[in-house]
């Protein structure tokens, strides 16, 4: 008597293209992404008194500090834009990028216990980090819109059509953080010192990005170097669109886009290569 042929519902293969993000497989695990996002969001408020209010407190106090130190004491230019809006925009964008980068950079080391027990596409973890931080960004964006509406009513800003590029700019920041985070998460499985280097590097990188100053305030070689910073085109486009101030140009955003997607390709290759053997070194 012939036994009925078994049909497997799941096939786990060891070999795959180094350029394959396996997005189709990731989509099948969308419920797991939702669970990770919910976990990250809830854990942010656990055992806190103010809860989601902290998402407002952080950018407000940071903006006030920048306003006093860089706006009043240092006297840095804001290209004529209201200082509160200028710094709030920079703080909001930087918070999203930096938290996404630091979160995705610990993908392997921070989830080794889960990865060693059950299989799911490893890309699920960094994607959930990007999405959960996007929710926090949304809360802070509402704060920005409140101040923006006030200055718009007073006639102190002249927004333009480039404000419609905001979704694309957010995607660029997410992709940049994802690609860079995948590179660092892969390398830190073998070189633990990179964890400390990343924290120090992110702090320095903020001052190389037009968060507290406009690109128009730079000259010579410094300006040329800043031009090739992938975040420069994003920050300048956002401020130009919403505040109507800045030295933004389409080629600047094009350079940012090209560099960011090149980093994503590199990050994908390294991530897929390390994914097979990271449990031996983490």
What pLDDT digit, counting tens, does each position of 133-158 carry? Answer: 888 898 899 999 999 999 999 989 99
Q: Is 48 part of any domain?
A: no
CB-based contact 163:222 (threshold 8 Å): no
Kindly state the helix (H) or strand (E) to which residue 149 belongs, with its residue range. helix 124-154
Q: Is 221 part of any domain?
A: yes
Residue 279 confidence (pLDDT): 46
How large is the average pLDDT for residues 67-94? Answer: 92
Q: Which residues contact 210 (CB under 8 A, 6 or more apart)?
A: 90, 226, 231, 232, 235, 236, 239
> What's the whole-number average pLDDT of the chain?
83
Could you tell me which of 225, 206, 205, 210 has the C-alpha nearest to residue 77?
210
Q: Is 3 part of any domain?
A: no
Residue 274 confidence (pLDDT): 74
CA distance 239 to 237: 6
CA distance 216 to 114: 47
CA distance 108 to 192: 12
Q: Is 49 part of any domain?
A: no
CA distance 51 to 54: 6
The C-alpha angle with vertex 76 and arms to 73 and 80, in degrees rounded to 5, equals: 120
Kindly state the helix (H) or strand (E) to which residue 110 belongs, with its residue range. helix 107-110
Residue 39 confidence (pLDDT): 78
Q: Which domain holds residue 266?
A: 70-280
| Domain tally, the chain | 1
Structure-block tokens of residue 119? 């299989």
| Phi and psi torsions of 103, nearest 5° | -70, -45
Task: Check whether 177 has a pLDDT greater than 60.
Answer: yes
How large is the average pLDDT for residues 166-184? Answer: 92
Q: Burial, 30: exposed, middle or buried (Cβ in 10 Å; 0-12, 13-18, 19+)? A: exposed
**Which residue carries 């085109």 as its tokens?**
233
Residue 105 confidence (pLDDT): 82
Q: Is 74 part of any domain?
A: yes
CA distance 127 to 178: 8
- Selected residue with higher pLDDT from 35 and 255: 255
Q: Is 37 part of any domain?
A: no
**pLDDT class of 194 with cuts at 50, 70, 90:** confident
Number of Cβ within a 10 Å radius of residue 274:
21
End-to-end Cα, the chain, rounded Å: 49
Q: Is 63 part of any domain?
A: no
Residue 256 confidence (pLDDT): 94
pTM of the complete model: 0.84
Structure-block tokens of residue 46? 């656990």
Cα 163 to its chain centre, rounded Å, is 19
Q: Is 123 part of any domain?
A: yes
Residue 88 confidence (pLDDT): 95
Rg of the chain taking only CA atoms, in angstroms: 21
């Amino acid at each position: 008597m012939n036994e009925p042929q078994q049909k497997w519902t799941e096939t786990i293969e060891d070999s795959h293209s180094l350029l394959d993000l396996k997005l189709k497989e990731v989509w099948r695990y969308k419920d797991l992404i939702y669970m990770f996002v919910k976990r990250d969001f809830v854990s942010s408020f656990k055992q806190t008194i103010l809860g989601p209010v902290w998402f407002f407190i952080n950018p407000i106090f940071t903006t006030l500090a920048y306003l006093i130190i860089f706006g009043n004491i240092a006297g840095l230019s804001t290209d004529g834009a209201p200082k509160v809006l200028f710094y709030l925009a920079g703080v909001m964008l930087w918070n999203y990028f930096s938290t996404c980068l630091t979160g995705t950079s610990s993908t392997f080391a921070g989830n080794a216990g889960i990865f060693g027990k059950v299989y799911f596409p490893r890309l699920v973890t960094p994607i959930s980090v990007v999405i959960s931080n996007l929710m926090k960004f949304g809360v802070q964006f509402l704060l920005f819109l409140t101040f923006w509406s006030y200055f718009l009513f007073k006639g102190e800003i002249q927004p333009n059509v480039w404000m419609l590029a905001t979704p694309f700019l957010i995607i660029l920041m997410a992709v940049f953080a994802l690609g860079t985070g995948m590179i660092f998460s892969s390398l830190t499985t073998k070189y633990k010192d990179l964890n400390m280097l990343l924290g120090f590097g992110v702090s320095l990188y903020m001052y190389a990005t037009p968060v507290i100053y406009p690109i128009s305030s730079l000259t010579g070689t410094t300006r040329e170097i800043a031009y090739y910073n992938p975040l420069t085109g994003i920050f300048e486009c956002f401020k130009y669109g919403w505040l109507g101030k800045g030295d933004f140009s389409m080629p600047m955003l094009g350079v940012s886009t090209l560099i960011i997607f090149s980093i994503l390709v590199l990050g994908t290759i390294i991530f897929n290569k390390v994914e097979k053997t990271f449990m031996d070194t983490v």
